[in-house]
Structure 1
Amino acid sequence: MTSPLPFEIWWKILEYLPSDACVIRLRTVNRLFLEIARTLRYRNLSINKYDVQTEHLLRGISSISLGHHIQSLCIRPWAISSASHIDGPVGHILSAFDLVRSFFDSDYPGRKAKNLVQIQMHEQIQLVSQTTKDLENVREYTVDWDVNESSCVQLFTAFLILPNISPLGPTLTKLTVRVPTDRLVCLATLCLPALEELNIDLVTLSLPEEYIDECLHHVIVFINNHGQNLRSLSISSDDLSQNLNLSTFFRSLSISPFLRLHSFTLSIPYDGCHLPEKTNGADCLRSFLEQSRSLRHLKLSSYPRAPYPDLSLISTSPSKTPGGYWIQRALEAPDLANALTSLTSLELAIRPLLSDLTPSLAFICAVAHQLESLVLTDEFLTPDEVRRVVDALASAPACSSLVHLTISLQYLSTSILNLFASRLGHLESLKLTFSAVKASSHPDEKKREISVKCESVGSIFFSP
């Protein structure tokens, strides 16, 4: 009798199958295939509604011990119906009884509907909680919110505190949260000793600023409680948050250093409304960054502005749109570059509102000697602006450390490609996004020059 193949060899064989679905269909081949298929099927568990299929799935995970396969759990709370689901003669009798009783008690239908919602909510929370007791290997946990759909707010509370009452807490290394603002208070109660990555998407809608600050205080407490282990922090918000001001948030976070924070991402609307100048928002952000001296990756991005029919309609005067210069204001102090001595990866929205490149280029020039990757997003740069970027990178001593560059161009031409190849020939990858290709007097010559001039660059990705 031949000896069975080792588990590692089976995994190697499965790499040649076109998709995970093929592996799952082959689960009956042998016991190893079954275990591998279960791992692929259940490693990412998403619960975004509650119906008969969801109930069967959750009960099945508990009944046949599938919980150890789950490594990522995402829950998006749903709406709970107040309708009764009793069919047949019994259901008809109860409906008639309710109709008669409503004649004598006008408040009865409302009380019954509310009671049914509470009963169903309790049952659904209990089933989810019971299922999570078997999840011993979950590393990533997400509580999400679809603002465009109605959701039961009590479910957010129940699912946010799940790590405290289940095996999730000790194993979680990544937490992603997008919840109603008042539910953020639940974060302060969590204890996640292994947490390394935190992603928070703020959606405050039209809540008043004072109330938002009170809720964000609990987020600050949570971040500070886990600051010793936190490696990655991402904060994002969009224009759905009308009265959000992150100045106090970053001012509070800058009190204590984050010695192990390696990655930080901030994404807010292009006009900088969430870091207003009147509360020194950019200065507060810079103070936080200066306290994060171990940062290796920094990303400051802006959500796209509404399209303008004419770019000349966009104000470029700082006095008219000061908030739109939040990135430049945060980077303009030389002390920041001196503090971020470990920075190797930088991603910037280079010029929201067609703003002046000088502050951003000064920061890039100051850290260019240590950068391995640079990504410049937002507006398309003119050829002159591209040259200024290349000058800032090429003028740095030992700039050969830069191996990845991503940049957006107004148009692609052989002269621009020649510029990259001659000044930054040590690049391993170059990704260019452009809106047009500049015509050449000799079309055939253009293609030949592109292939010749850029042969020193490892790889080029074009995104027209």
Structure 2
Amino acid sequence: MLPHIPFEIWRAVALFIPEQVLATLYTVNKVFLAVCRERRYTVVNVDAYKSAKPLLNYIKASPLVHTVHVRPWLVRAKDFRPPSALKLLYSCISPQDDETVEAQIVRRVRKQTRRLCDSIRHLPNVHTYHIDWDEGPVQAEFISALLDAVLPSIGPNLHTLVLKIPFRHMLSLPSLAQYLPQLQTLSLTIHTGSHNAFEISERMEGVIVFLNCLLRHLSSLALFTTPTSTFLDLGVLFAHLGHGRRLKSFALCIPFDGGHLPEPHSLRRFLAQHSQTLDTLKLETTRAAVRPNLAATSNYLWIRDSLRNRSTFASLTHVSLALRPLRTDLTPLFTFLSGLRLLQQLRLSERPLEFIEIVRLLEALENAAALRALSMRVRWLSPELVDALAATLPQITVLHLDFPEVIHSEPSSSVTSTLSNESRGTNRANELALFCAAFQGVVYRDWQLSQIAVPENQSTREPIPWLDDLERVFVECVPGLTRFEELLSPI
């Protein structure tokens, strides 16, 4: 007889089984049935009433549900379609006037929101609640119900709240803060659309009060803005945000042109205020903001100006920065990184680094003895780049590199973005062969690298796959390498 295996072990094993395969194993025994149910209903996604009805019936007061993700939809009038032969007769007997249609929509909104909100309110173990509005038309009553009718019930148990809601509902947020005593992680997306500056400042007061009420116990705060927020200015928000004594993680994602942060000194003050407690900092970007006038040139440097801080970030271990707003002068970045003694993970995205910039970056990281993971986009992959990484950062274990080309040697010209004629005289296949040949007999014995991810060749002009060749090179050169993966999403 087989020994009894604890349920926790089966649960851990199920994490390595694809969901499609696991769904076929629920009939094996009661243990697998419980594992399948837990895996399937831990996260509940609701994005349409018709598909959600059977799910809501099944999960009534279920303790398995830990995360609820709602994408609000526009409730429409019921589309009744009589048989084609009776269409004309039906239209004469039962005309659909506007008032009738509007009354029907009101009834359907009440029915669907009541059914959805009642189901969520009675889930006892929900720790994460996510409202993800797609910026499309939706009834105001729908959003109000998801906030006012649900949060008072599940709020006391919530640890994570993710909100993207229409701007007109921001004024109702302060009254809901009292129902979130244990909230640790808040992600808020601000979308103002075409609202004018006066309307934005009026409703932004609600956001400020809401955030200040929660900052007392938040450990993670993430703020996002949408590029279609025409007149949004976050300077007022950061100028009035208080001090979060427990805040350890902060993320900000706005359009790269800095249109939503014309004066970054308020953000700089906010970061300085939390410099001793933050261990994670992410400053990232989206596409340029939609504005009636072009953003000032100085606005593009909002990340650079935010990092020019006299305060030392003594506890930072995880940093993710978008390089596009830094333009070509990376000196503030290198100065900032040189002071991070406890840095463990670094991600630099959105702009490829030239080799000379990488050399300066590695010099800035010389004191980051705890650095274990590095992700960045480079102009191209070369033997010199690999040598520099292995020599300067032998302690890193995870490396993600994004590049469009592989070359056999760095061009002699310094920071230009074009290869010399000698190096471009050969095609990509020869460049790849010469790159591989440069590593014959090379072994980086002191490099602790165990995982590396690189992209496949995306060139349509010369679609030469290079993953297999690069894998062979790195496996032979790095003794401790255990995982070689394809980088599926750009850095």
TM-score, normalization by structure 1: 0.83
Mapped pair 1:196 → 2:187: no
8 Å contact kept, 2:75–2:105: yes
8 Å contact kept, 2:343–2:371: yes
Alignment correspondent of 2:487: none
- In 1, the alpha carbon distance for the partners of 2:160 and 2:15 equals 27
8 Å contact kept, 2:14–2:35: no
2:453 to 440, 444, 461: 461
The residue type equivalent to 2:392 in the other structure is: R
Matches within 5 A, 1:198-347: 198-253=186-241, 256-276=242-262, 280=263, 282-292=264-274, 293-304=276-287, 321-335=297-311, 338=312, 340-347=313-320
Q: Write out per-residue CA displacement over residues 25-62 of structure 1, whole angstroms, 9 at most, x where no aligned residue.
A: 333333333322222221111111112x4223223333
Alignment correspondent of 1:172: 158
- In 2, the alpha carbon distance for the partners of 1:437 and 1:146 equals 40
Aligned-residue identity in percent: 29
The residue type equivalent to 1:187 in the other structure is: L
8 Å contact kept, 1:430–1:457: no
Matches within 5 A, 1:401-412: 401-412=370-381
Mapped pair 1:360 → 2:333: yes
Structure with more of its chain in helix, by fraction: 1
8 Å contact kept, 2:382–2:435: no
Q: Write out per-residue CA displacement over residues 161-184 of structure 1, whole angstroms, 9 at most, x where no aligned residue.
A: 243342x11111111111111122
Q: 1:409 to 1:305 in 2, by over 3 A?
A: farther
- In 1, the alpha carbon distance for the partners of 2:202 and 2:383 equals 55
Q: Write out per-residue CA displacement over residues 71-121 of structure 1, whole angstroms, 9 at most, x where no aligned residue.
A: 110111111112365979xx999865543xx8xxxxxx1211111111111
Alignment correspondent of 2:363: 391
8 Å contact kept, 2:155–2:180: yes
8 Å contact kept, 1:275–1:326: yes
The residue type equivalent to 1:273 in the other structure is: G
Q: 1:436 to 1:215 in 2, by over 3 A?
A: same
**Secondary structure, counterpart of 2:347 in structure 1:** strand
Mapped pair 1:371 → 2:343: yes
Q: 1:185 to 1:456 in 2, by over 3 A?
A: same
The residue type equivalent to 1:45 in the other structure is: V
- In 1, the alpha carbon distance for the partners of 2:183 and 2:160 equals 6
8 Å contact kept, 1:270–1:304: yes
The residue type equivalent to 1:74 in the other structure is: H
- In 2, the alpha carbon distance for the partners of 1:356 and 1:3 equals 64
- In 2, the alpha carbon distance for the partners of 1:59 and 1:289 equals 46
8 Å contact kept, 1:412–1:436: yes
Mapped pair 1:153 → 2:148: no
**Secondary structure, counterpart of 1:235 in structure 2:** strand
8 Å contact kept, 2:369–2:395: yes
Segments of 5+ residues of structure 1 without an aligned counterpart are 103-108, 307-318
1:382 to 337, 350, 354: 354
Alpha-carbon offset, residue 12 of structure 1:
5.2
8 Å contact kept, 2:301–2:327: no
Alignment correspondent of 2:117: 129
RMSD of aligned residue pairs (Cα, Å): 2.8
**Secondary structure, counterpart of 1:69 in structure 2:** coil
**Secondary structure, counterpart of 1:211 in structure 2:** helix
- In 1, the alpha carbon distance for the partners of 2:238 and 2:155 equals 26
**Secondary structure, counterpart of 1:131 in structure 2:** helix
1:452 to 434, 443, 463: 443
Alpha-carbon offset, residue 153 of structure 1:
2.7
Segments of 5+ residues of structure 2 without an aligned counterpart are 290-294, 410-422, 424-433, 457-491
2:171 to 171, 175, 185: 185
Alignment correspondent of 1:82: 77
Alpha-carbon offset, residue 408 of structure 1:
1.6
TM-score, normalization by structure 2: 0.79
8 Å contact kept, 1:361–1:392: yes
Alpha-carbon offset, residue 9 of structure 1:
4.6
- In 2, the alpha carbon distance for the partners of 1:184 and 1:29 equals 49
- In 2, the alpha carbon distance for the partners of 1:302 and 1:11 equals 38
Q: 1:411 to 1:50 in 2, by over 3 A?
A: same
Q: 1:92 to 1:37 in 2, by over 3 A?
A: farther
- In 2, the alpha carbon distance for the partners of 1:262 and 1:130 equals 34
